[in-house]
A and B are shown apart, each in its own frame.
Chain A
Amino acid sequence: MKKLIGFLFKLVKRIVLIGLGAFVLTFTIYMTNAENKLIYDVVRPFLTKHYDNQARDRRI
């Protein structure tokens, strides 16, 4: 019984810690607008360069 309670306690502690970590991480991304900065400054310039170099069939 003690073992089971100990296990459950550890499990709950781990879930709480993971949840807290996930919250801190996602809330930091949210508040600092990190995903938009990454997309605007890094991802889109890379993709735009790729799109500009695409050979597209424009015969219609």
Chain B
Amino acid sequence: MKERIISFIDDKLKQFDPVWLAENGKGGQRTRYRDDGSGIARYREWRGVEDTFQDYTAWLKNLGYMGAMVAKDPIKVMKGIWEYRWMGSFLASFAFVDRIYEGYRGRELDIANIHGNAIVRILTLRIGLILHNDKRLGGGEMTDKMIGLDETIPPLFTAGFPTLNAEPMQTMPEFVVCDVDQHLDPYYIDVAESYGLAPDVCSRCSAETGVAIDDAFPVFGKLVLSTNQPCNASEATSMFQRRRFHQKGIEDYPFVFAMQHNTKNGNEYSKEELRQAIQKIEEVYDVKYDWNALFEKAKNMNHQNQIELEKWEIFATPYSPLSGINESLYKLVEWALVNGHDEYFNEIDDKVIGIMRQAVRDKYVPYKGKTRHRAFLWGPSAMYYTDFPTWAQNCWGIDIVLNMDSTMGHNMIDTEDPEQALEDLAKFSEKGVMRHHAVGGWDNVNAVWEWANRLNCDMVICNDNVACKGMNGVHALLEEQAQQLGFHFVFLPHDLEDCRTIPRKEIRKAINDYMSIVMGEEPLDATLVDFDDAEAW
């Protein structure tokens, strides 16, 4: 009876389902959007009764997390929105979640919303904590017990300081929110350039510098650990940021990792750096490192990585309902921000791997069997604000099986011997965000082909950051390799966080051209081929 009612309603409302519209040549995903380039949909996606209600309840849950953040300290949150431009950008989060999970149905949507809720939960908790303890907004009980970390330093090692709280400095003002709102970072980039700094540099580092110049970092803690991760550009921006931190009375300590992170000497060097960073924190905060506290959180991280290794096995099959931005954004947040500190994420992993195992047993074919190509992506953050993987699947049936950033540190950490744990942590920390396959020698970049083979991909897509001098250097080498190894290969031009240099539409055009001219294929959804979203968040 229930099924009959559901299928009756589904049949009556199918003209509001963009997937049905595209399948029947009557429209598609963009049909429901306004025509003003704003990227605002006139109505939300109708996914059928069951999936729509599933998505609605996930939306309600996100609303609840945001409400809880405001309710905990409404004055500080309001002050934060009034003070920081980047806080205004977080208001676009609902639209961001809709955008990245567009077209998802069934088990893909189940996992997406489990992940989406977990991401919103942790971000609202951390934003709430930062604003509550921000000296600029009045400070709180944890203000002097917080350690500022560069966003690319994996925070697991700070678990050995259970009375302190380590927060990545740039994650909220720049790193995460620029994915939610593409118009945020151009403002900070302009601030940096109007200060007289070079415009042809990595736009992420430029934006971070702009945040420092604009005095838009939250103020907390006594110490900030800056770093050279992921590359030399980070060293430059760290130098500008430390000036601002010093003005606020916060000491700076450079925590420098070996660039050649696959060598024995490199690992030894990073291990010593890690030891010294721990000593520095002990000195500044007058606390002793607690190895048992570290081991407890390292167990969480090991559990996470064990599941991750199993996920990679499932990714190699055609039955994984987890892929694309759903996989990579969750992994990025879970690895770079949580990093073993929150047991809740272990519960999420257990739940998701359960769905994935069942999908394999059922030989479940995701995306209604519309996937035509399986791609390994070499993609940094430009893939998030452009919602590129979601678009690639919906428009051309290209499933982004895995992104290079998702292969971050996955070695296990010893949970008994401090000396061994330090060595494991050094290895783990060296392979941080945008690092494992971006720096440390040609072999690391060249590993994309091994990954593509391992995951049974026929395509490799490589983001081509026009301002990244390092990756520009390997451009021709990668093209040669693709030709020799027989992969479909596309370079996606982008300027990382500066959406003005190469807009989303131009990024999509690179794929459109390849798929139509080289491959001679027709799009799955014609409304997604060429549309204007320049004014969208």
A57 to B214, CA, bound (A): 7
List A contacts of B216 (CB < 8 A): 56
Binding site for B on A (CB under 8 A): 26-27, 30-33, 35-37, 39-41, 43-44, 47-48, 50-51, 56-58, 60
Q: Give the residue name and chain of the A residue nearest to B91 (CB).
A: A39
- In the bound complex, do residue A60 and residue B92 qualify as a contact, i.e. CB atoms below 8 Å apart? no
- In the bound complex, do residue A47 and residue B94 qualify as a contact, i.e. CB atoms below 8 Å apart? no
**Can you list 21 contacts pairing A with B, beta carbon distance less than 8 Å?**
A26-B60, A27-B56, A30-B56, A30-B59, A31-B44, A31-B46, A32-B43, A32-B44, A33-B41, A33-B98, A36-B92, A36-B94, A39-B92, A44-B92, A47-B81, A47-B91, A56-B216, A58-B195, A58-B213, A60-B212, A60-B247
Minimum CB–CB distance from B342 to chain A (whole Å) comes to 27
How many residues belonging to B are interface residues under a CB distance threshold of 8 Å?
Answer: 32
List A contacts of B92 (CB < 8 A): 36, 39-40, 44
Those 5 A-B pairs whose CB atoms lie nearest each other, nearest first: A47-B88, A60-B243, A51-B85, A36-B95, A39-B91
Q: Give the residue name and chain of the A residue nearest to B210 (CB).
A: A58
Picked from A36, A41, A51, A60, the residue with its CB within 8 Å of the CB of B41 is A36
Within 8 A of A (CB), among B210-240: 212-216, 240
Chain B 72-114 per-residue mask, 1 if CB under 8 angstroms from chain A, else 0: 0000000001100100100110110010000000000000000
- In the bound complex, do residue B40 and residue A37 qualify as a contact, i.e. CB atoms below 8 Å apart? yes
**Extra inter-chain contacts (19) besides given A41-B40, A57-B215, CB under 8 Å:** A26-B63, A30-B44, A33-B98, A35-B94, A36-B41, A36-B92, A36-B95, A39-B92, A39-B95, A40-B92, A44-B92, A47-B81, A47-B88, A50-B82, A51-B88, A58-B213, A60-B212, A60-B213, A60-B244
Asked whether any CB of chain A lies closer than 8 Å to the CB of B153, the reply is: no
Q: Give the residue name and chain of the B residue nearest to A43 (CB).
A: B91
Asked whether any CB of chain A lies closer than 8 Å to the CB of B42, the reply is: yes
The A interface is mostly helix, strand or loop, or mixed, namely helix
List B contacts of A32 (CB < 8 A): 43-44
Picked from B44, B82, B85, B247, the residue with its CB within 8 Å of the CB of A33 is B44
Within 8 A of A (CB), among B226-275: 240, 243-244, 247
- In the bound complex, do residue A40 and residue B85 qualify as a contact, i.e. CB atoms below 8 Å apart? no
Q: Give the residue name and chain of the A residue nearest to B40 (CB).
A: A40
Chain B 35-51 per-residue mask, 1 if CB under 8 angstroms from chain A, else 0: 00010111110100000
List A contacts of B46 (CB < 8 A): 31
Minimum CB–CB distance from A46 to chain B (whole Å) comes to 9
List B contacts of A33 (CB < 8 A): 40-44, 98
Q: Give the residue name and chain of the A residue nearest to B535 (CB).
A: A40
Picked from B88, B95, B195, the residue with its CB within 8 Å of the CB of A48 is B88
A44 to B98, CA, bound (A): 18
Q: Give the residue name and chain of the B residue nearest to A39 (CB).
A: B91
List B contacts of A58 (CB < 8 A): 191, 195, 213-215
Minimum CB–CB distance from A54 to chain B (whole Å) comes to 8
List A contacts of B247 (CB < 8 A): 60
A51 to B40, CA, bound (A): 22
Q: Give the residue name and chain of the B residue nearest to A47 (CB).
A: B88
A28 to B40, CA, bound (A): 16
List A contacts of B91 (CB < 8 A): 39, 43-44, 47
